[in-house]
């Protein structure tokens, strides 16, 4: 797929024109510019967004099979069935999140998915329901909103950073979020020594999505924004 995309999908015009301006003698960007006073706020807030979306995702998905087996006492076969429903929801969530980002805006889509993620994981781990059809079906919205919350992120980060720094900016913010978010499963494990595993998952996942919502609220909307050369 990478080879096909590289060969057949054209680069955006704003990128091509920016490269042409650099080749003609324009000031070459430096990675550290993402920490300059004019861009630092965007860098910090997008990093927080990255922590929220990935921390919540890791807190849920890393421990979910263990939760189903040890707390819900499902067999390996039944655990697989529940995971299939969650994965199906994830696939639909990715597609829907992308369309919503274009339809209602990046910020509204991200806030909607983050809020629904918090509700879905709370319902999945707290509601006193049996391992029947309701529990099985709850896996679909859990996967849908948890994975769908990633879809607007790429476009949003690209549009927030100047075109000359988009790779440095979104690469740093997303992967800083990945690094910090990767700690969440460990923290869930520590907390589960004092609380039930379900409650530990919910606490860290909901906390992550609250951070995500706060970061999004403080960022500007970029839907329909015209990206300028060397902006």
Diameter of the chain measured on Cα atoms = 67
How big, in percent rounded to 5, are the helix, strand and coil portions of the chain? 75, 0, 25
The answer to whether residue 231 scores a pLDDT higher than 70 is no
pLDDT tens for 11-56 read: 888 888 877 877 777 677 788 999 999 999 999 999 999 999 999 9
Looking at residue 228, what is its pLDDT? 63
- In whole angstroms, what is the distance from residue 123 CA to residue 120 CA? 5
pLDDT tens for 182-227 read: 999 999 999 988 988 989 999 999 999 999 999 999 999 998 887 7
Looking at residue 72, what is its pLDDT? 78
137 vs 122 pLDDT, higher one:
122
65, 80 contact by CB (below 8 A) = no
- Cβ within 8 Å of residue 194, ≥6 positions away: none
Average pLDDT rounded to a whole number, residues 116-133? 84
Cα torsion angle, 165, 113, 91, 121, sign: positive
Looking at residue 135, what is its pLDDT? 78
Task: Name the pTM for this structure.
Answer: 0.86
- In whole angstroms, what is the distance from residue 132 CA to residue 144 CA? 20
- In whole angstroms, what is the distance from residue 54 CA to residue 99 CA? 20
pLDDT tens for 139-162 read: 899 999 999 999 999 999 989 998
- In whole angstroms, what is the distance from residue 97 CA to residue 15 CA? 25
Angle of the 197-218 helix axis to the 184-191 helix axis, nearest 10 = 140
Instruction: Indicate the fold that domain 42-218 takes in CATH.
Output: Growth Hormone; Chain: A; (1.20.1250)
Domain residue spans of the chain: 42-218
User: 217: which 2 tokens?
Assistant: 């609220």
Looking at residue 114, what is its pLDDT? 96
Looking at residue 26, what is its pLDDT? 66
pLDDT tens for 66-101 read: 888 888 777 766 778 888 988 999 999 999 999 999
Which residue's structure tokens are 């607007």?
152
Q: Looking at residue 213, what DSSP letter applies? A: H
Q: How far is CA 5 from CA 2, 162, 220, in A?
A: 5, 24, 30
């Amino acid at each position: 797929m990478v080879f096909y995309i590289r060969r057949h999908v054209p680069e955006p015009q704003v990128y091509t024109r920016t490269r042409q301006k650099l080749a003609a003698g324009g000031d070459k960007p430096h990675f550290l510019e993402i920490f300059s006073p004019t861009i630092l706020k965007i860098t910090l807030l997008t990093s927080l967004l990255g922590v929220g979306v990935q921390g919540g995702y890791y807190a849920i998905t890393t421990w979910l099979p263990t939760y189903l087996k040890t707390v819900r006492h499902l067999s390996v076969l039944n655990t697989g069935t529940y995971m299939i429903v969650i994965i199906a929801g994830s696939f639909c969530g990715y597609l829907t999140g992308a369309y919503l980002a274009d339809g209602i805006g990046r910020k509204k889509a991200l806030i909607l998915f983050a809020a629904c993620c918090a509700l879905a994981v709370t319902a999945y781990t707290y509601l006193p329901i049996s391992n029947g059809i309701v529990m099985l079906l709850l896996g679909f919205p859990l996967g849908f909103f948890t994975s769908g919350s990633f879809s607007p992120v790429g476009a949003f980060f690209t549009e927030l950073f100047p075109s000359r720094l988009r790779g440095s900016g979104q690469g740093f913010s997303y992967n800083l979020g990945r690094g910090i978010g990767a700690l969440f499963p460990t923290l869930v494990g520590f907390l589960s020594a004092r609380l039930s595993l379900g409650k530990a998952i919910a606490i860290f996942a909901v906390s992550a999505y609250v951070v995500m919502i706060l970061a999004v609220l403080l960022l500007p909307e970029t839907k329909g924004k015209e990206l300028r050369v060397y902006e």
